[in-house]
Amino acid sequence: MLSFVYQSAPSRVIFGAGCLDKLPEEIQKLGATKALVLSTPEQRQSGLDMVARLGLRAAGLFDRAVMHVPIETAQAAREEAQRLGADCCVAVGGGSTTGLAKAIALVSTLPILAVPTTYAGSEMTPIWGITEGGRKTTGRDIRVLPKTVLYDPCLTVTMPATLSATSGMNSIAHCVEALYAEEANPIVSLMAEEGIRAFAQSLPVVVKQPGNLEARSQALYAAWLGGIALGTVGMALHHKLCHTLGGTFNLPHAETHTVVLPHAVAYNTPASPEAMARIARALGARSAAEGLYDLAASLGAPTSLAALGMQAGDLDRAADIAVQNPYYNPRPITRDGIRALLQNAWEGRRP
């Protein structure tokens, strides 16, 4: 019988090729007059483009965003925002840049306008993360949720094929775990299934023809849905494992998600038949786990933890850490079960 809680997050989304032209108008709608633009060093040119588009409404550019928001970078960006008298942040880039804007908003309440250029989905979540002394702390705070998001697929055509594939699989993971989340609800499940379907159809085209705007548009639409799923309901075993592997063994974020997902899904299959049927249907596959593995392989994405540089000797420690703190998962977590899952993921076995 149906029983659920559904709460939507207050954010304004503008979607479509060329919608970046609305940037000055949207900044004005936020009531902001001095926007600090944020980017990674690699996307400095995009940052400069935003500054040019904003004209007198730009306070400056901070182009030092890096993966996992080190506290030193967060402090430097906060000081720069204060020095320039910024009254909002424009984050152009992937999860690393959006994450830096969130670190500023967490202590200043400056509103964020996000312009995502990957499929990570951070722009739709109230989740922040900051790394200090090698440890990443994460939390939820509505103040860090971007107020406005401009999804312009034109900005994603420069995303390399490998990043497109792994970033897309990372977002599919948000959709997959939303379908068997503790707080799963009919609205988010609709979005999650649709997100998987739109990715399964668009990613193979995106990887072969990175400039195909129709496919890029479908993939970015799917990423939006994945972001909502991640931001609205809690995640489970897959995200916990990836957090452990990324944090303790320094494995790359999106690639780790890509490799682990089919195996986490295989583990949870006996406990969530309805969710698995929806995932398989969205992928057009016989089973959810096989379909996810085959999709990643067909995109040329990595399929084993060994290929990501993880040592076989670290698998026992990874299993120990993954079972330390209890968390929700549809199937009970056992040390032996997780160790076997990790072995399969390390070898890159088709589930």
> Closer CB to ligand NAD, residue 137 or residue 158?
158
In angstroms, give the least distance from the CB of 57 to ligand NAD: 23
In angstroms, give the least distance from the CB of 167 to ligand NAD: 5
Using the Cα atoms of residue 265, residue 267, residue 268 and residue 269 in order, give the sign of their dihedral. positive
> Closer CB to ligand NAD, residue 73 or residue 118?
118
Inter-CA distances, 23 with 131, 160, 336, Å: 30, 25, 52
Binding residues for ligand NAD restricted to 39-98, rule: CB under 6 A: 40, 42-43, 67-68, 93-97
**Tokens representing residue 290 in the block:** 């096989």
Of positions 148, 167, 202, 218, contacts ligand NAD by CB under 6 A: 167
| Closest among 277, 279, 239, 276 to 261, alpha carbons compared | 239
Inter-CA distances, 80 with 49, 63, 225, 337, Å: 19, 11, 33, 48
Of positions 23, 254, 265, 296, contacts ligand NAD by CB under 6 A: 254
Buried b or exposed e, range 102-129, using 16+ CB within 10 angstroms: bbbbbeeebbbbbbbbbbbbbbbbbbbb
Phi, psi angle pair for 345, to nearest 5°: -70, -35
Binding residues for ligand NAD restricted to 278-317, rule: CB under 6 A: none
Compute CA 185 distance to the chain's CA centroid, rounded to the nearest angstrom.
Answer: 20
In angstroms, give the least distance from the CB of 99 to ligand NAD: 5
Q: Count the site residues for ligand NAD by CB under 6 A.
A: 28
Residue 121 contacts ligand NAD per CB under 6 A: yes
For 276, residues 6+ apart whose C-beta sits below 8 A from its C-beta are 265, 268, 269, 287, 288, 289
Of positions 150, 163, 175, 296, contacts ligand NAD by CB under 6 A: 163
> Closer CB to ligand NAD, residue 126 or residue 337?
126
Residue 258 contacts ligand NAD per CB under 6 A: no
For residue 169, with 0-12 CB atoms within 10 Å meaning exposed, 13-18 middle and 19 or more buried, which class applies? Answer: buried
Strand residues in 6-154 grouped as ranges (E): 12-15, 35-38, 58-62, 88-93, 112-116, 127-132, 135-140, 148-151
> Closer CB to ligand NAD, residue 160 or residue 270?
160
Residue 131 contacts ligand NAD per CB under 6 A: no
Which DSSP category does 19 fall into?
A: G
> Closer CB to ligand NAD, residue 130 or residue 198?
130
The window from 35-43, 56-64, 175-183, 187-195 that contacts ligand NAD (CB under 6 A) reads 35-43
Which DSSP category does 182 fall into?
A: T
The window from 115-123, 199-207, 208-216, 258-266 that contacts ligand NAD (CB under 6 A) reads 115-123
For 338, residues 6+ apart whose C-beta sits below 8 A from its C-beta are 241, 267, 319, 322, 323
Q: Which residue is nearest to ligand NAD (CB)?
A: 95
Residue 38 contacts ligand NAD per CB under 6 A: no
Residue 127 contacts ligand NAD per CB under 6 A: yes
CA–CA gap between residue 154 and residue 236 (Å, rounded): 33
User: Three-state DSSP class for 329?
Assistant: coil
> Closer CB to ligand NAD, residue 49 or residue 280?
49
> Closer CB to ligand NAD, residue 34 or residue 53?
53
Of positions 49, 73, 112, 118, contacts ligand NAD by CB under 6 A: 118
The window from 157-165, 182-190, 215-223, 327-335 that contacts ligand NAD (CB under 6 A) reads 157-165
> Closer CB to ligand NAD, residue 206 or residue 319?
206
Pairing of strands 35-38, 88-93: parallel
> Closer CB to ligand NAD, residue 125 or residue 344?
125
Query: In the complex, which residues of this chain contact ligand NAD (CB under 6 A)?
Result: 40, 42-43, 67-68, 93-97, 99, 117-118, 120-122, 125, 127, 129, 155-156, 158-159, 163, 167, 230, 253-254
